[in-house]
Chains A and B, each alone.
Chain A
Amino acid sequence: MVAAAVLQAGVNAFRRSVTGELRGPLCGMGICFECRVSVNGVAHVRSCQTLCEHGMEVRTDE
């Protein structure tokens, strides 16, 4: 999963809330939406529900 790869890379700030707070994975099962990242230019993708692919561009802290 993308979430696991991001954490393994040492990043735990996945995104910022509307009010600017740092957020990261909480439930790990697609319910809480806290682990959203941009994948290949598409915002708000749940990283805990998305399989890694070669060449995938993942952006955090957006």
Chain B
Amino acid sequence: MSSNAFDVIVIGGGIVGAACAAECAAEKLSVAIVEARMIGGGATAAGMGHVVVMDDSEAQFALTRYSQDLWNELRDELPRDIEHDACGTIWVAVDDEEMEEVFRKQRFYSERGVAVEVLDGQALAEAEPNLRPGLVGGLRVPGDSVIYPPCAAQFFVARARARGARLFVGSAVETLTREGVRLRNGTSLSAGVVVNAAGSWSPELTPGVSVKKRKGHLVITDRYPNFLRHQLVELGYLKSAHSVTADSVAFNIQPRTTGQLLIGSSRQFEVDDSRVDVSIVTRMLARAIEYLPRLATLSALRTWTGFRAATPDKLPLIGPATVAESSSGPERPFAAGHEQLYLATGHEGLGITTSTGTAKLLVDQILNRTSAIPIPPYLPSRMAPETTARA
């Protein structure tokens, strides 16, 4: 065996790839991490960094809940630079229709053992005095937290390396080979298992993966300690999601441990240009100021964009890479000749939360173990029948 032979090659040093590498190394597998640019420098650095339980679907709930529990187990080991803040989330309701959604969410979470608290208008105003008067109420989810994701990715990589993983940074994967991968700088690495954790770049390496770029904008302010206590999210996205326009904005804001405020969010499909779109930022800030009028008096320091790796059903792809032929042919591996290609991608806006659970589910499959939660909703093979049906 050459020194470039491993049990597992993880492509992508974002938080998902980093967590997968750490988990593989913890299972005493020999691991290579290949990162084209810098650890935690893609969507991991561009995103907000919430560790939240979500309820769009049972599968989304199961994975976010499981992942949040795993984050909580890590809590005492997290370095200070990860800025873990157990601030909790408040879902904000502006009218009675949204308050109905608060009660629906309360039932959903309570039935599944997640602590939540319904706030009326007065309790909401006391919890967050900078919210505008007249809001109807909200749902507080005290178990949610916020972290600084690039440092979390570095933390996972450091754990992997402490357990013997090797890091290859600065040269992208040129192609998947029969033995493993070949990098653009000519280095060849071999492994029994290759994990494509390249986020929104994953289809470039594995054509046919159901991942599309979904652009987002964020704004961060100067330091205003105590302006906010919780992460706030509007419930109104439920209504705006029905609009036909491709571009949408929704109010989401986080207090950071520095005292800064991180303001989102926007979603755009079919946009490849990474430049800041002032019209989107303007809409996003206007939306935030509707909720927090005093935001208008504060200074923003920086505005940037990033690309989420979005799948059609809003669930990640975790498991062996398979896809249907363009006709209704038999399934085959994505990379011809490569038997052991796995995907860990398509986490959209929840990759920070679900990185920990993804790593567990991936390793369980590599080692042929039973997982703590049912894995079928996340298997890439779920996409195949849909493709076939349309053919």
A residues adjacent to B (C-beta < 8 A): 18, 42-45
3 closest pairs, A vs B, by CB?
Answer: A44-B222, A42-B297, A44-B299
Residue in B closest to A18 when the chains form the complex, CB atoms: B223
| CB neighbours of B223 from chain A (8 A) | 18, 43-44
Those of B145-164 within 8 Å (CB) of chain A:
none
Residue in A closest to B221 when the chains form the complex, CB atoms: A44
> B249 → chain A, closest Cβ, in Å?
25
How many residue pairs at the A-B interface have CB separations less than 8 Å? 12
Sample 12 A-B pairs with CB under 8 A, ordered by A number.
Answer: A18-B223, A42-B297, A42-B298, A43-B222, A43-B223, A43-B224, A44-B222, A44-B223, A44-B224, A44-B298, A44-B299, A45-B299
| CB neighbours of B298 from chain A (8 A) | 42, 44
Residue in A closest to B259 when the chains form the complex, CB atoms: A43
| CB neighbours of B222 from chain A (8 A) | 43-44
> Would you call the interface of chain B mostly helix, strand, loop, or mixed?
loop
> A43 → chain B, closest Cβ, in Å?
6
Rounded to whole angstroms, the CA-CA distance of A45 and B299 in the bound complex is 8
- B293-304 Cβ-contact flags toward A at 8 Å (1 or 0): 000011100000
> B303 → chain A, closest Cβ, in Å?
16
Most chain B Cβ neighbours within 10 Å, of A42, A43, A45: A43
| CB neighbours of A43 from chain B (8 A) | 222-224
Rounded to whole angstroms, the CA-CA distance of A25 and B7 in the bound complex is 58
| CB neighbours of A18 from chain B (8 A) | 223
| CB neighbours of B224 from chain A (8 A) | 43-44
> A2 → chain B, closest Cβ, in Å?
15
Those of B215-242 within 8 Å (CB) of chain A:
222-224
Rounded to whole angstroms, the CA-CA distance of A43 and B223 in the bound complex is 8
Given A18-B223, A44-B299, A45-B299, 7 further pairs, Cβ under 8 A: A42-B297, A43-B222, A43-B223, A44-B222, A44-B223, A44-B224, A44-B298
| CB neighbours of A42 from chain B (8 A) | 297-298
Residue in B closest to A43 when the chains form the complex, CB atoms: B224
Most chain A Cβ neighbours within 10 Å, of B222, B297, B298: B297
Rounded to whole angstroms, the CA-CA distance of A18 and B259 in the bound complex is 11
Rounded to whole angstroms, the CA-CA distance of A44 and B300 in the bound complex is 10
Rounded to whole angstroms, the CA-CA distance of A45 and B224 in the bound complex is 12
> B119 → chain A, closest Cβ, in Å?
26
Rounded to whole angstroms, the CA-CA distance of A7 and B222 in the bound complex is 24
Residue in B closest to A39 when the chains form the complex, CB atoms: B297
Rounded to whole angstroms, the CA-CA distance of A45 and B222 in the bound complex is 10
> A58 → chain B, closest Cβ, in Å?
15
> A33 → chain B, closest Cβ, in Å?
8
Rounded to whole angstroms, the CA-CA distance of A45 and B223 in the bound complex is 12
Rounded to whole angstroms, the CA-CA distance of A42 and B299 in the bound complex is 10
Rounded to whole angstroms, the CA-CA distance of A18 and B223 in the bound complex is 10
Residue in A closest to B297 when the chains form the complex, CB atoms: A42
Residue in A closest to B294 when the chains form the complex, CB atoms: A42
| CB neighbours of A45 from chain B (8 A) | 299
| CB neighbours of A44 from chain B (8 A) | 222-224, 298-299
Rounded to whole angstroms, the CA-CA distance of A35 and B215 in the bound complex is 36
